[in-house]
Amino acid sequence: MEKLSFPLVPNFLLGVAGGIQYLSFKNAAKNPRKSQEKTLRGILEFAKDSEYGRAHNFADILKAKDDTELYELYRKNVAPNDYEDLRPLIERHKNGEENVLFPGKPALYATTSGTTKEPKWIPITKHYLNDVYGKMNKAWLYSMIRNRRLVFAGKLVSIVGKVVEGYAPDGTVCGSISGFAQRDCPEFVKKLSPYPFTIYEIEDYTARYYSIMRFGIEHNTTLIITANPSTIVEMQNNVNEYFDKYVEDIEKGTLNPDIDVPERIRESFKPYMKPNPERAAELRALKEKHGTVLPKHYWPDFQVLNTWRCGNTKIYIDKFKDSFPKQMFHQEFSYYATECRFGLVIDETVNTVPCAHMHYFEFVPEADMDKPDSEKRFLQLHELEEGKRYITFVTTYAGLYRYNMNDLVEAGPKYWGTPSIHLVQKVNGIVTMTGEKLHERQFIDAVRAVEAEMQTPLKFFIGFADLDVSAYRFYYEFADLGTSQEIAEDFSKRVDELLKEYNQEYRSKRDSLRVKDPLTHRLQRNSFETFKAECIAEGKRDGQFKLNLLLQDESRHEKFRKLVIE
């Protein structure tokens, strides 16, 4: 395996480009109130002559004398939005119209799952891509050097989505935001990859993991970037199953012909492969010595693992605890979604410091989340209190205005003058174990469709995310209690198929095995009534009783476990 040498060029170049952006980030954090006023004015100025900007009086809002008046006018003229509010305008952009949400047209679209069967197409402007996203990425890469100076001394393994997943009707490309980030990272960072980016076009996930790890394990890898820690679990599962085949490939300079990789992509791999019998011998010796070969064995110089560490991720992180070398720094990926990358994590915590100079943020206290918009309190970034929880709203240079992220976050300590935040969970009917963002409405639609298709009526149904097994458990109370377990499982298989159609993130996580096959349970008669009676007996008010049909709630889950037909 290659010996590490100090990464003088990457550290120097990122020290300059990233250091400048990091200094801007730090300066903005010193006075978030002033930074946020400047940012909001910048966004309104950018979009004031668009159709949306004219309809919502952006030019008049900009006449505000101070930040307090600016925020009041903005709230008065622009109502909170979710994607469905903006979808008609985005559809016009997709069909070629200009100057609808912002000047000109989107440079590209980042796709993600929505609350309906249709995915979200998040518009990305050229300004946002270059002056916001690009600058944040440089600061983020620089932050890794601050934590581990040898992070770019070896190879970089990253797991991202495809850059091109399709096209809008007007020909504008759509794809994964992580793929775009990879595409647009500095050239010297791209050169650290042990494989070409065509690897992300492999459709079969087992083959994709095989290819990534076949190249990664050959080299002295020092950095892994992937949002979901569940991916690390699947990567190691692939190593456990195919280790001997990796070694054979590395020895011969080949890629296993039995792996489902299109010939076009195989051809692109050839410059990256040559016989390496020395590394093959090292790997065989590691297996003989350790039996199960872990990252700390095949990557002893590993420096930084960059994944999510907050929300529901602990269950996956526990599965690879002690698998990496002791010097590894596990850096939180940050509070980051397709719609908005909120900021940077600058230390060993899970707390993201919002980039006050890049986006405009609003926060609704958790206690107000169920109130009508007219009664909600909308707070500014500088008003957050440590330990309190809030719903996040963002305004960006990419056409999202007072956009409800549907996320519950908790405020942490301040970085200079800016409160930090970390994700707690999705809210309002969205469940996510590993980024699949499955919406209750999608689950209900799928169950109702299968109910009609199979002519198997239900009295009640509910679904729960089970983090321990990384799978959804579907519970059905069939009208005919004699319905067999076999039919119930066929019902779930069909629901699963429809959910893959409705939600591309769910399909991705299922195909990649990060979300396992759903588990099926039949419920006793009057299961909902029994559950409700137990809740009311525990003090829940009958008039306020509400139950979502897709949940991640172990206390409620346990009550339904007791109502299953054995």
pLDDT tens, residue by residue, 315-327? 789 889 899 999 9
Q: Architecture of domain 430-561 in CATH?
A: 2-Layer Sandwich (3.30)
Residue 188 pLDDT class (50, 70, 90 cuts): confident
Provide, rounded to the nearest whole percent, the portion of the chain with pLDDT above 70.
98
Instruction: Give the C-alpha distances (Å, rounded to integers) separating 324 from 222, 232, 283, 563.
Output: 11, 11, 16, 42
Contact present, 413 and 89 (Cβ < 8 Å): no
281 sits in which H/E element: helix 277-290
For residue range 291-337, what is the model confidence (pLDDT) as tens digits? Answer: 999 999 999 999 999 999 987 687 789 889 899 999 999 999 999 99
Residue 543 pLDDT class (50, 70, 90 cuts): very low
Which value, to the nearest 10 degrees, does the dihedral of the CA atoms of residues 200, 204, 205, 206 take?
A: -120
545 burial type by CB count under 10 A (0-12 exposed, 13-18 middle, 19+ buried): exposed
The pLDDT of residue 282 is: 97
Q: What are phi and psi of 379, to 5 degrees?
A: -100, 155
Instruction: Please name which of 434, 402, 439 lies closest in space to residue 113, comparing C-alpha atoms.
Output: 439
Query: What is the spatial distance between Cα 102 and Cα 43, in angstroms, rounded to a whole number?
Result: 10
For residue range 62-90, what is the model confidence (pLDDT) as tens digits? Answer: 999 999 999 999 999 999 999 999 999 99
Query: What is the spatial distance between Cα 95 and Cα 101, in angstroms, rounded to a whole number?
Result: 13
Mean pLDDT for the stretch of residues 381-394: 97
Domain boundaries, the chain: 31-124+335-426, 127-332, 430-561
Does residue 105 or residue 554 have the better pLDDT?
Answer: 105
For residue range 196-242, what is the model confidence (pLDDT) as tens digits? Answer: 999 999 988 889 999 999 999 999 999 999 988 888 988 999 999 99
Q: Sign of dihedral through CA atoms 337, 342, 347, 348?
A: negative
Query: What is the spatial distance between Cα 412 and Cα 152, in angstroms, rounded to a whole number?
Result: 30
Q: Which of 6-10, 131-135, 159-163, 397-401 has the lowest mean pLDDT?
A: 159-163
Using the predicted structure, report yes or no on whether residue 520 has a pLDDT greater than 70: yes
Query: What is the spatial distance between Cα 552 and Cα 429, in angstroms, rounded to a whole number?
Result: 10
The pLDDT of residue 409 is: 95
Residue 416 in tokens = 């200079």
Mean pLDDT for the stretch of residues 29-46: 98
Query: What is the spatial distance between Cα 100 and Cα 426, in angstroms, rounded to a whole number?
Result: 29
The pLDDT of residue 177 is: 79
Segments in 99-162 forming alpha helices (H): 126-127, 134-147
Contact present, 150 and 4 (Cβ < 8 Å): yes
Q: What are phi and psi of 374, to 5 degrees?
A: -65, -20
The pLDDT of residue 544 is: 45
For residue range 122-145, what is the model confidence (pLDDT) as tens digits? Answer: 999 999 998 999 999 999 999 999
Mean pLDDT for the stretch of residues 364-387: 93
Instruction: Give the C-alpha distances (Å, rounded to integers) separating 269 from 214, 263, 278, 323, 411.
Output: 11, 10, 20, 29, 45
Q: What are phi and psi of 534, to 5 degrees?
A: -65, -40
